[in-house]
Amino acid sequence: MFNRVITNQTKTMVLLMVVFTTVILIFGASVYFSIVNFSHQRFYELLKIRTTTIVQIEKGKEHLDLPENYILNSRNDEELPMERDYVFAVPEDSNFKKISHEVHIPDSFFKNIIRTGEANYNDSEFYYIGQSFKYQNKDYIAIASAKNHYVVHYLGFLKRTLITCMILSIFFSMIFSFYLSKTLFKPILKITGKVKEISSENLHLRLEPQPDNKELNELVETFNTMLTRIETSFETQNHLIGNVSHELRTPLTSIMGEADVALSINRTAEEYKETLEIILDEAEKLDKKIKALLLIAQTGFDGKITKIDKVRVDQLLWDVIETLRRIDSRNNIYLDISMLPDNPKKLKVQGNEQLLHLAVANIINNGCKYSNHQQVKVSIGATDTDLYIIIKDNGIGIPESEMNKIYDPFFRASNTRNYEGYGIGLPLARNIVRMHNGELLVSSHENQGTTVQMRFPTIYGTQREEIQS
């Protein structure tokens, strides 16, 4: 026995077929029974006219002679197919069994006429309608009957036509269901094929949004965001592996070299002290680099924020500026608030305040350091959906040929030899910005300064999207 997995596309096609078939059957049955009911009512109306005519004709006679077989008409000008008209005198005991047996009409039909004044009845072929009337103080019953050729012939044709139409409709609904299900799942199959192409060697690939498909685009956006985090993790990991050995080996080599020299011969206490100070200095450098590695690893590999709050970014910037001025009084930072929005909700983002503080502080501190403490301009602005922080300095800038390496951990531009640093500020800041679903862009020219733009989605913009959706 083979286990067959029914795909969602097949399930959708079957469901559509069932729905279309049900609607077609209900529609066909409604049309058929509506026409049948209408034909019955219409034929009874014609018989009622005939019955009324019979009553008027019989009342107009001077003397009412009833035929022995009860049948009045044997004319050639019948208005209805196989019409038979009857007139009965109501028996004194109201017992219609004899009459019922002779004319093959149920006696209940006669009793209904007496009770209500009018009644109708039909068997497999004939339709009957009767009325009661008085003539010369006696009670009579007039009945008109005929064969409904419309029901026998035309409704049979209608039934065959409807059945043929329903079979054709079901056939075309099968074709339409197959086409519709294939069309609905085509974007999903396309995305699935694209996902299969993505591997660790080409994490830069992204899924393309599908036109006029909001739900699927949300999935595409979520998957692309996940790919961005994975790509960041892989890039960080690759850069760390390539740089960590060199960055850690240098202070370790210095420590071991100084220790070997100190132990090679007997030295004075002052010389040992000097050697220990060198070893301590190198050990502190090693400690800082290890901490930097761990911090980059935490922000690059995990991609998750442990504590999320509503952060007011303008207040965050004031805190960062105050902290940097306290660390070094030479830091000259100017906060431009001319583009602040009127609505304070546009200044709030969802994120971790400590990480955001660290990212912004790293960028501003780099601007102060590499501009030799000239003024660094920090601007803040917001739209309905995003918040922007722009940090501009007039420092040494970055050579154009080295711009593609600025996010490599421990990379330092060739014109930064006279400045202290480890090359972890910018990649760390970018990782933090990405964790907050933001974007970090760097524009720089050597000896002309650097401009860094940080973009974050605001809580106000997110709430507007939720309301509109």
Q: What tens-digit pLDDT sequence spans the chain (469 residues)?
A: 334 456 666 777 788 778 888 888 888 888 888 887 887 787 777 888 878 877 777 766 655 555 554 555 544 344 677 777 888 888 877 787 888 877 788 888 888 888 888 888 887 778 888 888 887 778 888 888 887 776 667 777 777 888 888 888 888 888 887 777 777 777 777 777 777 777 766 777 777 777 776 777 787 888 888 877 777 667 656 655 555 555 566 677 777 887 887 787 787 888 878 888 888 877 877 776 676 666 666 555 455 555 788 999 999 999 999 988 988 889 999 999 888 888 888 899 988 888 888 889 889 999 999 999 999 999 999 998 899 999 999 999 999 998 888 887 777 888 888 888 777 788 888 888 988 889 999 999 999 999 999 999 998 766 665 555 5
**Where exactly are the structural domains of the chain?**
8-153, 198-303, 305-469
Tokens of residue 171, six digits = 């056939």
Based on the number of CB atoms within 10 Å of its own CB, is 63 exposed (0-12), middle (13-18) or buried (19 or more)? exposed
What is the CB-side half-sphere exposure of residue 420 using CA atoms within 13 A? 4
CATH fold of 305-469 reads: Heat Shock Protein 90 (3.30.565)
User: Could you tell me whether strands 333-336 and 376-382 are parallel, antiparallel, or unpaired per DSSP bridges?
Assistant: parallel
Hey, which residues does 85 pair with through a beta bridge? 144
Distances in Å between the Cα of 187 and the Cα atoms of 5, 8, 15, 181, 217 are 21, 14, 20, 11, 10
Amino acid at 334: Y
The residues near 217 (Cβ < 8 Å, ≥ 6 apart) are 209, 210
Dihedral sign (CA 92, 93, 98, 99): positive
Amino acid 453: pLDDT: 95
Q: Within its chain, how far is the Cα of 414 from the centroid?
A: 50
Region of 253 please: left (phi>0), alpha (psi -120 to 50) or beta: alpha
